[in-house]
């Protein structure tokens, strides 16, 4: 990365860090929390769906495992949710590895994997309604007051900083993965799995690593949401539109790119939040709008909003160079 881009990223991070210090409007903070939260979940999905090319339509299953585990531990055994987050993440990772083993070991076609993840989420939804604590009514997390130990706060600023740190953390991890052997192997699998296998890449192994990472971090997001809302129920944890939300943001922003889920969340989350307020009686209508936006973006910018940002930055830099020289750039 150039020094200019590094400087811009630092400036953006500093701006994000200081927003709650100077601006205390709870709704604005909630909107920013949702933008970071959806960008985080989209980044988690992107590890498997974007870099490895294994489309998952049931990622809400991993989210729900994390949410229910931490909520159950804190409500039934008074165990700190910080510990419950990691327990839920480990259980989710084991579930992801088990699911991946069934499909990847026997080289099941990608379409059947996508449908299998969707079915897995629906099965967990049925199980949660009938056998999990609380059943259809869900689990209400007991109030402990303003406490870092119990992940409960009166204001929204602590929640804001926690999800911001989680987003930065997962982006940094993906950045390292991108530039590692694992990242190169995942990209090779995504582009042509047969060719990757032909040159000696253990495709099943690296796809399992991808789903393990993706499910682990997605479950952490589920635990965060359970503590943020202080309530979790089966439709909230395992619903299909949540899986769609995780998929649509990387697709709009730029699937298989580091910042694509962030761009997608910046574009789509304010629309979803605004429509939930204005059209609450028509819940789910935003999904139709998202679909239309996806079609338009794919027609104009096949690489997602990342392509738009690259073209805009190139245009601005070329105009700047032209202005600096005092004349138009000459054709070669």
* Cα 191 from chain centroid (whole Å): 22
Query: So what's the pLDDT on residue 255?
Result: 94
- Nearest-angstrom CA–CA distance, 118 and 102: 15
Predicted local distance difference test score (pLDDT) of residue 109: 76
Other beta carbons within 10 angstroms of residue 10's beta carbon come to 10
DSSP state letters, 61-85: HHHHHHHHHHHHHHHHH---HHHHH
Instruction: For 235-263, give the DSSP string.
Output: HHHH-HHHHHHHHHHHHHH-TTSSSHHHH
Measured CA angle at 14 (ends 13, 16), to 5 deg: 65
In whole angstroms, give the CA distance from residue 76 to residue 90: 19
Instruction: Tell me the helices (H) and strands (E) count for the chain, helix number first.
Output: 14, 2
- Along the 332 residues of the chain, how does pLDDT read in single tens digits? 667 677 778 888 999 999 998 888 899 999 999 999 999 999 999 999 999 999 999 999 999 999 999 999 999 999 999 999 999 999 999 999 999 998 988 777 778 899 899 999 999 999 999 888 888 888 999 988 888 999 999 899 999 999 999 999 999 999 999 999 999 999 999 999 999 999 999 999 999 999 999 999 999 999 999 999 999 999 888 887 889 999 999 999 999 999 999 999 999 999 888 887 776 656 667 778 888 888 898 888 888 999 888 888 777 767 766 555 555 544 43
The total of other beta-carbon atoms located within 10 Å of residue 131's CB is: 8
What pLDDT does 280 receive?
61
Query: End-to-end CA distance of the chain, in Å?
Result: 27
Nearest to 210 by CA among 97, 90, 89: 97
Residue 137 is predicted with a pLDDT of 87
- Contact status, residue 45 vs residue 244, Cβ threshold 8 Å: no
| C-alpha triplet 210, 121, 73: angle, nearest 5° | 85
Q: Which residues contact 52 (CB under 8 A, 6 or more apart)?
A: 186, 189, 190, 206, 207, 210, 211
Q: What is the DSSP letter of 50?
A: I
| Helical (H) or strand (E) element with 102 | helix 81-104
Count Cβ atoms below 10 Å from residue 304 Cβ, excluding itself.
Answer: 26
* Cβ contacts of 256 within 8 Å, gap of 6 or more: 46, 50, 51, 53, 187, 190, 250
Kindly calculate the radius of gyration of the chain based on its CA atoms and give it in whole angstroms.
21
What is the per-residue pLDDT for 331? 43
Give me the pLDDT at residue 153, please: 94
**pTM to 2 decimal places:** 0.92
Half-sphere exposure of 17 (CA within 13 A, CB side): 8
At 323 the pLDDT is 55
* pLDDT at residue 37, rounded to an integer: 97
* Dist. CA 2–CA 84, nearest whole Å: 40
């Amino acid at each position: 990365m150039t020094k200019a881009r590094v400087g811009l990223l630092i400036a953006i991070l500093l701006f994000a860090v200081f927003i709650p210090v100077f601006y205390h409007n709870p709704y604005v903070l909630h909107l920013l929390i949702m933008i970071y939260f959806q960008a985080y979940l989209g980044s988690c999905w992107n590890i498997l769906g974007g870099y490895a090319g294994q489309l998952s339509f049931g990622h809400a299953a991993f989210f729900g495992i994390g949410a229910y585990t931490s909520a159950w531990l804190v409500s039934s055994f008074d165990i700190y949710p910080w510990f419950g987050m990691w327990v839920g993440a480990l259980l989710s990772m084991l579930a992801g590895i088990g699911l991946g083993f069934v499909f990847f070991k026997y080289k099941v076609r990608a379409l059947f994997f996508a449908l299998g993840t969707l079915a897995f989420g629906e099965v967990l939804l049925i199980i949660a309604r009938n056998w999990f604590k609380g059943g259809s009514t869900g689990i209400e997390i007991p109030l402990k007051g303003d406490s870092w130990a119990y992940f409960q706060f009166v204001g929204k600023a602590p929640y804001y900083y926690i999800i911001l740190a989680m987003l930065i953390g997962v982006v940094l991890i993906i950045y390292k993965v991108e530039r590692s052997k694992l990242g190169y192997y995942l990209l090779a699998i995504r582009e042509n799995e047969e060719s990757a296998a032909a040159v000696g890449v253990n495709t099943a192994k690296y796809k399992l690593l991808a789903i393990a990472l993706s499910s682990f971090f997605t479950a952490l997001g589920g635990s965060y949401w359970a503590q943020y809302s202080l309530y979790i129920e089966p439709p909230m944890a395992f619903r299909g539109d949540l899986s769609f939300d995780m998929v649509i943001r990387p697709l709009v922003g730029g699937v298989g790119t580091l910042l694509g889920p962030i761009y997608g969340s910046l574009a789509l989350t304010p629309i979803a939040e605004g429509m939930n307020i204005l059209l609450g009686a028509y819940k789910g209508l935003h999904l139709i709008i998202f679909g239309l936006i996806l079609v338009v973006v794919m027609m104009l910018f096949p690489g997602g909003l990342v392509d738009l940002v690259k073209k805009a930055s190139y245009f601005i830099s070329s105009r700047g160079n032209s202005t600096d020289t005092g004349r138009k750039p000459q054709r070669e």
